[in-house]
A and B are shown apart, each in its own frame.
Chain A
Amino acid sequence: MTITNHLDIANLRKTYANGIHAIQDISLRLTNGMFGLLGPNGAGKSTLMKTIVGLQQPDSGSITFNGTDIIQDPSFIKRQLGFLPQDFGVYPKASALDLMQHIADLKGLPKTKERHEHIAALLEKTNLYEHRKRDVQSFSGGMRQRFGIAQALLGNPRIVIVDEPTAGLDPEERNRFNNVLAELGEDIIVILSTHLVEDVRNLCTNMAIIRQGKVLAYGNPSRFLDSLHGSVWRKVIPKSEKSHYEAQYNVISSYFNSGSIVIHILSETSPEQGFEMISPMLEDVYFTHLSSQN
């Protein structure tokens, strides 16, 4: 029988001692499936993740997981959690196998043959089985991230949170990692916190866009795309005219392509000659919301 898991975040606030409002009145409701939390650096994604997993306390608001207030009782979610932090280290002189065993102990998994096989399976799935006796400290960045997801999946987590998991990985490693995430299935909550739009596009059934501690948009990616249908236009322009077009149109994004600038604009009507209408992509949705906040 599939259990539907719920994570309800209501009016969450967190301000750091230096005055930075990391989270400003965030409310979200998550259920089973992959949820993408998209936002630029410094948006408050990691703060939100750390608050959910109990690494820090919010100033106000509530978070409940399957009906239990996890601010009052962080251990409730920790018993069912798999967490891959944005930036983590490992103990020196500890092999991958040793650390997996240790985390399994911390998660309360009894020392059984079943556990041993489960650890082996996770290491195999993440292509780390051959390196299981090596010090994790000697792993490359990609291997370390794979170790991170392996330990996050130990046991039977009902909620898995991965914070910027593919930042710094090469395309091959990113692909491999996303394949692992895709296998997680629809029976648990998976929160993917990232600034990479394509990861959300490829993996997530629900998403939110967050910036400066606030949720700018929240919902199904397809609905967002539909809302922009027929409104996104593209043109290649010389570098020197960029400011002219920014003054004249609602430029939502610009990027280089073979030395020239490609701009995407938002317009309900057809703009001047040279623009072509394109099917909106999730990046367009993302940049639209970011620029509307500006």
Chain B
Amino acid sequence: MSILRICPHKTEHIILQQRMKTFLTFELAAYLKKWWFYAALAAVFMAGTVVSPLRIMPSPNVSQYSPYSTTLMLGFMSLVGIFFTTLIAAQTLLREQESRFSQILYTTPITKRHYLASRFLVVFGISTLCMLMMTAGFTFGRMTTGRNIFHWWWYLQPFLLFTVPNLLFCAAAVSCAAWITQSRLAIYVSGLCIYIGYMVMLIFSTSPLMSKGMPVSPEMIRISALFDPFGLSAFFHQTSAWSVAERNTELAIMSGMILWNRILFLLISCGFLVLSFLFFRFSDKPSRINRFRRKKNQIPDEKEHRGTIRNAPLLKHIESSPYNIAYHLRTITSAAKLDFISIIRSTAFVVLAIGIAFYVGMEIYGDIEKGIRMPERFASTALMVNTILENFPSLCLPLLLFFSNELVWQSRNTRFFTIEDSTPRSKTTSMLAHWLALGITVFALTTWMILLGVAFQLGYGYFRIEWSSYLSLYALAGFPLLLSAGLAVAIQSGIAEWNTERGVRAKYASLVVAAIFIGISATPLARMAGFSHPLIRFTAAYSGKLSEMSAWSDYVRVFAWKMLFGLGVVLYVMLLASVLQKVPALTTFLQRKTTLATSLLPATSRTEKLLRYAMITGIIALTVYSGYYLTQNLVLPDSSSELASAVQYEKHYRSFQNLPQPIVTDVVTQIDLVPESRYYRVSGTYILHNKSTDAISRILIGFDSQTKDISGTLTIASVEYRITAYDTVITLQKPLLSSDSATFSFAFLYSWNGFSRHNPMNAIVENGAFMRISRYFPQFGYQADREITDTAEREAMQLGEASTITSVDAPRGKNHFVNLTMTISTAPDQIPIGIGEKIKEWSDSGRNFALYSSAAPVPFRFGVSSARYDVQKVRHKGVSVEVYYHPAHHENVPHLIENARNTLDYCQAAFGTYPFKSIRFAEVSGFTRGFNATAYPGTIFMNETMSFHANLQGDKKQDVINELAGHELSHVWWGNNQIAPDEREGASMLTETLAMYTELMLLKKMYGEQRALEHVRMHHDLYLSERGYGAEQPLYKTLPQNPHQHYSKGLVVMHQLSIVLGEEKLNQALKRFLEKHSYSASNQHFAPRSTDLLQEFATALPPESKELLNDMFKHITTYNLSIHNASVQKIMNKSQEQYDVHCTISVEKFHEDGTGKRIEKPFVGNVEIELRLEDGSINRGTISVNNSRAEGSVRVRSKPLEIEIDPRLRYIHTSSEKILKTL
């Protein structure tokens, strides 16, 4: 039979289908028949079980096993799909080209459709299988926790809704890149671009995980929800207003933005596949675009006279240089030059460099603009450097991995190794050349980032460029990347030589192994997997921040040691790789043992041999010594001993919680700051009184465990009791009777360095130090804040119930203020800042001194700062307004002074006299964390990285100086030494809510009602977006851990109250409250409660508004407002066009229980309606609503364009889309 007769009875269609099936089966067999594939699946499954206990976003009330948290976790895990699809695509899609089989395969009858379809199915199918295994492992891990509540659908639904479509998108994108460009690097680049695009989207979404995810505009949230390729922004959009109960029980549904997002990316995926079909050709040449570019590269022949060289002999004797170190250096530089040229001339590098610049640029932009909540910042060098340091290294790592893989395998892939390996050069020099080329690439990219930062600075008009800060990026980002590159090259080179006969598979295996090691040594992956020792991350970039005031901290010194250690480790790994490179295939090695010994240290001279021994010894010594130094000096957080210490404290001393203890009434202290050496000394004396009615026979005294060199002497009736331990119980020889006094003199020292770590609240730094120093002074009595709060841990330690916060209705507590006298000394070029009144300042023995006194009693809460300040002072109606600032941060000082004056005027007129002779604003280093500004009696400390140095000209809609001055200065009345609530429910309402109210009134006074309303809207949205992550309390019972309640909700509620009551009456109520309940109001010094304030409000309100007051403060009340119908009818009235507007609205009122469960309550009240007319005017009215629904009509003269209900946000509503309608 002729070999040309094949299946004569079958139709062509069936034949084609069978060919595709055969082709697909063959492709799948490349994976399914290999043992290592199943091993890889098992490893992926294990990885899923390992990460199953993790929670991305700790929230006390949203369970990590809830559908919300599960979807979040699985959604982020689907990012790993980028890695799977990229790797599998790189292995699968260009096999023909790499194995040179293309000319045979492409000349078979297989059609383009079947070829592309079967290859795509392999990439998508295998990736999905891998992610399915990971999800299965994750699910299995969750199942085995023994939780009662487990639903399969909570794991399967996110997999189907997010993971699978995400994989489809990634597979389509990388496949399209592969088939159009026929380039493996394009596959890697496309994978990285997907990741970059996703991260950029997250910046602009409402992701609670992004530190820059401060509230952005609703439009931006919608855009990112639509265009996020992984759908997570759409998920955040759908769930942003969910309550705790909903997060714990509900799954996201395929509706709204999630639906549109999934449809969009399904279409984009199909688009990629269509593009692939259109541009792919059965050819081993790249597509037309690349070919065009190649033609441009051809240089026309030169016509030079070459007479001399034409007649030159073929063989020419040229004396070779000796094969010594100089030769090896030359081969390294020669190879590195070729490597570097191949990197930077590659399209992939250009695309990646642009991609990195785009991403980092977006981050810089986000850091400058800060969304709608935060003010625009100056485009300072510190901001650029910090943003680059935070983002650039992690983006550069995949680039280095991919290029290192290309370089290590390039010689073999291009088959140039047959020539190179026949020269005397050693493979170690080849490895070093790759490292050098990558190092130059890192240098080039770091320079690129610096240029980007400078461009941003110039673009934003901030011309103060600090080159030394930019140059430090080479050390803090560039050097760790260099180490990562070295590690990647060494690992892959070693594996490459060991697997000389398994070229293709070893290439990707070496990439994966290198990626794992780089992931452990350079990223937080090790910590997530439970390896938290800092030495493990020996190629990680510096993670600290640059402060414009205090520059780099002492952590840089630790970093330098870590880099030395990292260098040693990398050189050591290179040494091992070098040994592996000299070892031939195993069987031959066993037979030729002498080859290894003689080839390990080949040297042409004794000197060289000695040099090599010295080098090896040096590498080992460097690694060992630096590692030893770090382990000896690093103070690692010891959570188990901290836990044990807390348990011991509670078990020993909780009995003192209800025992009377002496009260500190006077503090005289000297604080000697040595900022240049990062320490301070404190000495002082307390005067104590027994203010209880009982005698005190046992006293508990505690020093803070972070302090050192502690000493104390308690003197009662000439009897001295010495203290040298951190927690001491003193049994008095004679009890301290009621009203009796005692003295306690003490001393301690606090210091820190990069090895011991610092406390952000106690940041003594070289310039701009700020310490909440009273926290570290010795304390009397039981300190409940030292207790363990985690319920499970308490149960395990048999500790019983934790101390609970005092109920709002509990009997009144008393305030115990102190008379404070503080002498502060500091470096001769710095100014020490304390609280209260500055009595005098002087210099002595090369140090600057200042004496501060409280003049009137103040809470036992004081702070100090010290810096090289510039000062501006202004007298305003008898009060000295002083600003102490970093010389480069002068821009906002005049505006701050103006706002301070306005605030003083407003608050004095509304609430009462300012109790001090001066008000001090002092800027502190960004090294201290956790606050924008913090107010103490007479002094407000302001963080340099927050509002103080905001660019008010850049975004005139956010005058944060106005907010800051209003808010912080008003704490003089609401907090500090006037209204000083004790620690109980609702305390923050009396301080922060009232400060927010004052801030709002000052904003309204300066910028008008409309601007104030925008501010209210922002806080309204903030409150709604943050309330869903924890249990909620009514405002009058707000707890300190729920700032969104007393800040944002408080501001909204006070705004609503001011509409009902009027600003003037409200201020009068506040003034009465102040007069009755401030510290100085009575000798008893009872602490005020939130119910006291509500009483004043109730007194001011008409009786019919009492329920409204309860809804605002005593219940968690939300509303649903909707416009059901709105119609316009044009009528002619006396030859004039007029319009009748008729609308039907509904209002639903709910009382919530704090977990999101709500009960509807009848609504009776007025709702404002606003019409925006064509002539630009606004028509406002009210509709009285009874029984939730109402109708209303109005006649207007101009054509109405829009109708809005509740334009002034008198009600907290969750229905923002239904309250505005276009007519």
A and B: interacting chains: yes
Interface residues of A (CB under 8 A from B): 17, 50, 53-57, 59-60, 71-73, 75, 78-79, 81, 83, 85, 87-94, 98-99, 101-103, 105-112, 114-115, 117-118, 120-122, 124-125, 129-131, 133-135, 138, 148, 151, 153, 155-157, 180, 183-185, 187-188
Q: How far is the CB of B16 from chain A (nearest CB, A)?
A: 34
A217 to B415 alpha-carbon distance, docked (Å): 32
B342, A91: Cβ atoms under 8 Å? yes
If the complex has contacts A106-B423, A188-B315, are A91 and B416 also in contact, measured as CB distance less than 8 A? Answer: yes
Q: List CB contacts (< 8 Å) of B1001-1048 with chain A.
A: none
CB-based nearest A residue for B311: A121
A133, B414: Cβ atoms under 8 Å? no
B424, A88: Cβ atoms under 8 Å? no
CB-based nearest B residue for A160: B315
A83, B334: Cβ atoms under 8 Å? no
CB-based nearest A residue for B335: A102
Q: List CB contacts (< 8 Å) of B415-443 with chain A.
A: 415-416, 418-425
If the complex has contacts A90-B416, A94-B342, are A180 and B422 also in contact, measured as CB distance less than 8 A? Answer: no
Q: How far is the CB of A34 from chain B (nearest CB, A)?
A: 14
Q: Cβ of A157: which chain B residues have Cβ within 8 Å of it?
A: 315
If the complex has contacts A17-B587, A98-B338, are A54 and B421 also in contact, measured as CB distance less than 8 A? Answer: yes
A59 to B587 alpha-carbon distance, docked (Å): 9
A115, B338: Cβ atoms under 8 Å? no
Interface residues of B (CB under 8 A from A): 294, 297-299, 301-302, 306, 308-310, 312-323, 327, 330-331, 333-335, 337-338, 341-342, 345-346, 410-411, 413-416, 418-425, 501, 584-585, 587-588, 591-592, 594-595, 598, 602
Given A83-B422, A114-B318, A120-B309, 4 further pairs, Cβ under 8 A: A53-B422, A81-B423, A108-B320, A117-B312
Pairs of residues from A and B, 5 with the lowest C-beta to C-beta distance, nearest first = A89-B415, A105-B334, A121-B312, A85-B418, A89-B414
If the complex has contacts A102-B338, A117-B309, A156-B318, are A75 and B602 also in contact, measured as CB distance less than 8 A? Answer: yes
If the complex has contacts A54-B422, A57-B584, A59-B588, are A88 and B327 also in contact, measured as CB distance less than 8 A? Answer: no
If the complex has contacts A75-B602, A90-B414, are A124 and B306 also in contact, measured as CB distance less than 8 A? Answer: yes
Q: Cβ of A99: which chain B residues have Cβ within 8 Å of it?
A: 338
Q: Cβ of A129: which chain B residues have Cβ within 8 Å of it?
A: 306, 309
Q: Cβ of A153: which chain B residues have Cβ within 8 Å of it?
A: 314-315
CB-based nearest B residue for A95: B299
CB-based nearest A residue for B333: A105
Q: Cβ of A122: which chain B residues have Cβ within 8 Å of it?
A: 314
Q: Cβ of B301: which chain A residues have Cβ within 8 Å of it?
A: 130-131
If the complex has contacts A55-B418, A85-B419, are A109 and B299 also in contact, measured as CB distance less than 8 A? Answer: no
A133 contact from B299, B319, B331, B592, Cβ within 8 A: B299
CB-based nearest B residue for A125: B314
Q: How far is the CB of B749 from chain A (nearest CB, A)?
A: 61
Main secondary structure of the interface of B (DSSP, over half): loop
Q: How far is the CB of B23 from chain A (nearest CB, A)?
A: 27
Q: Cβ of A188: which chain B residues have Cβ within 8 Å of it?
A: 315
A124, B310: Cβ atoms under 8 Å? yes
Q: How far is the CB of A111 from chain B (nearest CB, A)?
A: 8
Q: Cβ of A121: which chain B residues have Cβ within 8 Å of it?
A: 309, 312-314, 316
Can you name 5 A-B pairs with beta carbons within 8 Å? A91-B342, A103-B419, A120-B306, A156-B317, A184-B314
A148 to B420 alpha-carbon distance, docked (Å): 12
Q: Cβ of A114: which chain B residues have Cβ within 8 Å of it?
A: 316, 318
B420, A155: Cβ atoms under 8 Å? no
A115 to B297 alpha-carbon distance, docked (Å): 27
Q: Cβ of A85: which chain B residues have Cβ within 8 Å of it?
A: 415, 418-419, 422
B298, A138: Cβ atoms under 8 Å? yes
A40 to B588 alpha-carbon distance, docked (Å): 27
CB-based nearest B residue for A99: B338
A156, B297: Cβ atoms under 8 Å? no
Q: Cβ of B424: which chain A residues have Cβ within 8 Å of it?
A: 75, 78-79, 106-108
If the complex has contacts A72-B594, A72-B595, A78-B422, are A155 and B318 also in contact, measured as CB distance less than 8 A? Answer: yes
A130 to B410 alpha-carbon distance, docked (Å): 27
A57 contact from B294, B330, B588, Cβ within 8 A: B588
Q: Cβ of B294: which chain A residues have Cβ within 8 Å of it?
A: 138
Q: Cβ of A109: which chain B residues have Cβ within 8 Å of it?
A: 318, 320-321
B299 contact from A117, A134, A184, Cβ within 8 A: A134
CB-based nearest A residue for B587: A17
CB-based nearest B residue for A107: B423
Q: How far is the CB of A30 from chain B (nearest CB, A)?
A: 17
A55 contact from B320, B337, B422, Cβ within 8 A: B422
B592, A57: Cβ atoms under 8 Å? yes
Q: Cβ of B308: which chain A residues have Cβ within 8 Å of it?
A: 117
Q: How far is the CB of B421 from chain A (nearest CB, A)?
A: 6
Q: Cβ of B410: which chain A residues have Cβ within 8 Å of it?
A: 91
A108, B594: Cβ atoms under 8 Å? no
A122 to B313 alpha-carbon distance, docked (Å): 9
A122 to B306 alpha-carbon distance, docked (Å): 12
A87 to B331 alpha-carbon distance, docked (Å): 24
B419, A79: Cβ atoms under 8 Å? no
Q: Cβ of B346: which chain A residues have Cβ within 8 Å of it?
A: 93
B598, A87: Cβ atoms under 8 Å? no
A106, B420: Cβ atoms under 8 Å? yes
A87, B421: Cβ atoms under 8 Å? no
A10 to B330 alpha-carbon distance, docked (Å): 36
A106, B592: Cβ atoms under 8 Å? no
Q: How far is the CB of A9 from chain B (nearest CB, A)?
A: 17
B598 contact from A57, A72, A180, Cβ within 8 A: A72
Q: Cβ of B413: which chain A residues have Cβ within 8 Å of it?
A: 89
Q: Cβ of B587: which chain A residues have Cβ within 8 Å of it?
A: 17
Q: How far is the CB of A47 from chain B (nearest CB, A)?
A: 13
A83 to B298 alpha-carbon distance, docked (Å): 28
B318, A118: Cβ atoms under 8 Å? yes
CB-based nearest B residue for A78: B424
Q: How far is the CB of A179 from chain B (nearest CB, A)?
A: 10
B321, A110: Cβ atoms under 8 Å? yes
Q: How far is the CB of B598 from chain A (nearest CB, A)?
A: 6
A188 to B314 alpha-carbon distance, docked (Å): 13
Q: How far is the CB of A123 from chain B (nearest CB, A)?
A: 8
A130, B302: Cβ atoms under 8 Å? yes
Q: How far is the CB of B298 from chain A (nearest CB, A)?
A: 6
B320, A156: Cβ atoms under 8 Å? yes
Q: Cβ of A120: which chain B residues have Cβ within 8 Å of it?
A: 306, 309
A103, B423: Cβ atoms under 8 Å? yes
Q: Cβ of B415: which chain A residues have Cβ within 8 Å of it?
A: 85, 87-89
CB-based nearest A residue for B422: A83
Q: How far is the CB of A11 from chain B (nearest CB, A)?
A: 15
Q: How far is the CB of B402 from chain A (nearest CB, A)?
A: 15
Residue picked from B301, B414, B418, most chain A C-beta under 10 Å: B418
A214 to B291 alpha-carbon distance, docked (Å): 47
CB-based nearest A residue for B306: A124
A135 to B421 alpha-carbon distance, docked (Å): 21
CB-based nearest A residue for B414: A89
Q: Cβ of A118: which chain B residues have Cβ within 8 Å of it?
A: 312, 316, 318
CB-based nearest B residue for A156: B317
B591, A59: Cβ atoms under 8 Å? yes
Q: Cβ of A134: which chain B residues have Cβ within 8 Å of it?
A: 297-299
Q: Cβ of A73: which chain B residues have Cβ within 8 Å of it?
A: 598, 602
A180 to B315 alpha-carbon distance, docked (Å): 11
A160 to B302 alpha-carbon distance, docked (Å): 31
Q: Cβ of A55: which chain B residues have Cβ within 8 Å of it?
A: 418, 421-422
A153 to B306 alpha-carbon distance, docked (Å): 20
Q: Cβ of B313: which chain A residues have Cβ within 8 Å of it?
A: 121
A200 to B294 alpha-carbon distance, docked (Å): 39
CB-based nearest B residue for A75: B424
A102 to B1015 alpha-carbon distance, docked (Å): 67
Q: How far is the CB of A82 from chain B (nearest CB, A)?
A: 8
B342, A156: Cβ atoms under 8 Å? no
A105 to B294 alpha-carbon distance, docked (Å): 28
Q: Cβ of B315: which chain A residues have Cβ within 8 Å of it?
A: 153, 156-157, 184-185, 187-188
B309, A79: Cβ atoms under 8 Å? no
A153 to B317 alpha-carbon distance, docked (Å): 11
B306, A106: Cβ atoms under 8 Å? no
